[in-house]
Amino acid sequence: MELATKMNEEENLDCIFCKIVNGDVPTELIAENEHAIAFLDLYPKAPVHILVVPKIHSDNILQLDNSSSLIGLFELIRKVAATKTDGQFKLQFNTGQREGQSVFHTHAHVLSEQSK
Ligand code: 5GP
Ligand code: ZN
C-alpha cells in the first residue's frame, strides 16, 4: 500500500517512525487516514500486532496535544481493531523508558490473539 499523503511537517529527523510516515523507510502499511498511519510491528508479540502512529511527531501520548491528530489517531485505532481483529484486543501506549517505550514517537499497539 502506498502512502497517500505526506503531511509530517513536524518531522524529527532522527525518528524511525517519522521516516516511516514519510515513506523513507519501507513498512507493511495496513491503513491510513489524514492524521495517522497503521503498520505491522517488525517484531510482533501477538498474532495480530499493529502499530497506529500519528503523522505529526510527538514523543508520547502526553505530548500529543493536537485535537485533530488525537481524533484521527483514535479513528484509525478503531478501524484497525474492527477490521484486523475479531473484536477482542489490547490497546497499549507504552510511555517512558521504564514502562517499556523504546521508540519515542507516539504510537498505539493493537494486539490480538485472533485476526478477523
Ligand atoms: P515501544 O517499545 O516503544 O512501545 O514500541 C515500539 C515498537 O516498534 C516495538 O514493538 C518494535 O518491535 C517496533 N519497531 C521498532 N522499529 C521498527 C521499525 O523499523 N519498523 C516497524 N514496523 N516496527 C518497529
Ligand atoms: Zn517521529
The predicted-structure confidence for 69-113, as pLDDT tens digits, reads as follows 999 999 999 999 999 999 999 999 999 999 999 999 999 999 999
Specify if 75 maps to a domain. yes
pTM: 0.92
Specify if 3 maps to a domain. no
Structural domain including 61 reads 16-112
Kindly state if the Cβ of 59 falls inside 6 Å of ligand 1: no
Specify if 76 maps to a domain. yes
pLDDT in tens, 39-61: 999 999 999 999 999 999 999 99
Let me know: does 53 contact 40? Beta carbons within 8 Å. no
Specify if 42 maps to a domain. yes
What is the residue-wise DSSP string for 74-110? HHHHHHHHHHHBSS--EEE---SGGGT--S-S--EEE
Specify if 11 maps to a domain. no
What's the CATH number where 75 sits? Answer: 3.30.428.10
pLDDT in tens, 17-33: 999 999 999 999 999 99
Residue tagged 487516514 (cell numbers): 33
Kindly state if the Cβ of 96 falls inside 6 Å of ligand 1: no
Specify if 10 maps to a domain. no
Kindly state if the Cβ of 43 falls inside 6 Å of ligand 1: yes
Q: Domain tally for the chain?
A: 1
Ligand closest to CA 19: 2
- Measured from the Cβ of residue 44, the count of other Cβ atoms closer than 10 Å reads 11
Specify if 96 maps to a domain. yes
Rounded to whole angstroms, the Cα distance separating 34 from 19 reads 17
Q: Amino acid identity, residue 7? A: M
Instruction: Output the pLDDT for position 11.
Output: 67
